[in-house]
Structure 1
Amino acid sequence: MIAGLIAAAPHVAHQALFGAIAAVGFGVLFNIGPGNLVRCALLGAVALSVRTMGQNAGWSLEAATFVAALTTACAVYLGGPQRGQAPNALSIAGCIAMVPGAFFINALLGFLSLTSLPPEEASLTIATSLTALLRVIFTLGAMGAGLTIPAQLARHRGF
């Protein structure tokens, strides 16, 4: 087991690095202040690291995304004051790099290719495109649930 963790370390570090870069980029797009961009980088690194470790452990993309979003949102709410920044904006900036864009493109291109296929050959393309679209929907739902649970619990401290 330890050997497996050591073997996966470069891949997890790679994902963490690019998660941090993407989170900072989205932080800039979301107009997050310069003082919180470092937090965005850390949150992006945490999100993609947790998701990658979950997938390496055999979890589905959706389950790993849920746990990563939950971890990221908990880190935001337990990490202290945000210095004038809304905690939801930090959570979303940290997690937005986990949106499965490749599955969405595959679904979109598959549905567009249906216009050129004869009806008897379209069933495999429909099934593949629907599968990719469902993965996008369920992954976004898992991410939304993972981000929402800590936000709701933080709002109701007596819960």
Structure 2
Amino acid sequence: MLELLLKGFWSGIAAVGFAILFNVPKRTLFPIGAMGAIGGLVKFGLMYFGVGIVFSSFVGATVVGIISIQMAHLKNSPPLVFSIPGVIPMVPGAFAYRMMLGLIALIQLEDSDTYIQTLIDMVNNGAKMSFILMSLAIGVSMPMLITRKESIKRSKFNKEKKVTV
């Protein structure tokens, strides 16, 4: 359980680091850190109970997306200011790294058995990475799309301007 809390804490720290890198307003740093920690706790908590990494990432990103809408109203900032840095710690960098190492190793291998095993591992890591990235994108954007109050067609920015002569 302590390991789970530590992963959540470090997810929050990583979210704040990326928020600083993206130059967000200072008033949003604490909520971003909290959202990163909550998203990390949800993801790693579900994985601890045996849920797959893809679905865990989806649920964690969805939680971050839902909280980002509320934080946007409280802090008068766009929801993306909160959701993107909060989700970045869940990006599957290890799978991407292993996939690239496998791709590089394929160039040097001559033994067919080792080549096939390396190819299988590379495709497996690439598929996991792709599905996790898709689940993060869908999970973080779905709450914003569902809770949108009006269509852009009825927005005040889409009104035709009357020209008088």
Q: TM-score over 0.5 for the alignment?
A: yes
Q: Which runs of 5+ in 2 are unaligned?
A: 152-165
Aligned to 2:126: 133
- Assess if the C-alpha contact under 8 Å between 1:76 and 1:87 holds in 2: yes
1:102 alignment partner, one of 94, 99, 105: 94
Matches within 5 A, 1:48-87: 48-79=40-71, 81=73, 83-87=75-79
Residues 34 and 79 (structure 1), Cα distance of their counterparts in 2 relative to 1, 3 Å cut: closer
- Tell me, yes or no, if the aligned pair for 2:72 and 2:79 is still in contact at 8 Å: no
Identity across the alignment (%): 25
Please give the residue correspondences for 1:3-152 in structure 2 after superposition, counting only pairs within 5 Å: 8=1, 10-79=2-71, 81=73, 83-118=75-110, 120=112, 121-152=114-145
TM-score (norm 2): 0.86
Q: What amino acid is aligned across from residue 40 of structure 2 in structure 1?
A: L
5+ residue gaps, structure 1, are 1-7
The alignment yields a C-alpha RMSD, in angstroms, of 1.6
TM-score (norm 1): 0.89
Report if aligned partners of 1:36, 1:82 keep a CA contact under 8 Å in 2.
Answer: no
Alignment coverage as a number of residue pairs? 150
- In the TM superposition, what whole-angstrom CA distance separates every residue of 1:86-125 from its partner, at most 9, and x where no partner exists? 2113101001000111111000000001111016131110
- Which one has a bigger Cα radius of gyration? 2
Q: Partner letter of residue 73 of structure 1?
A: G
The 4+ residue runs of structure 1 with deviation greater than 3 A are none
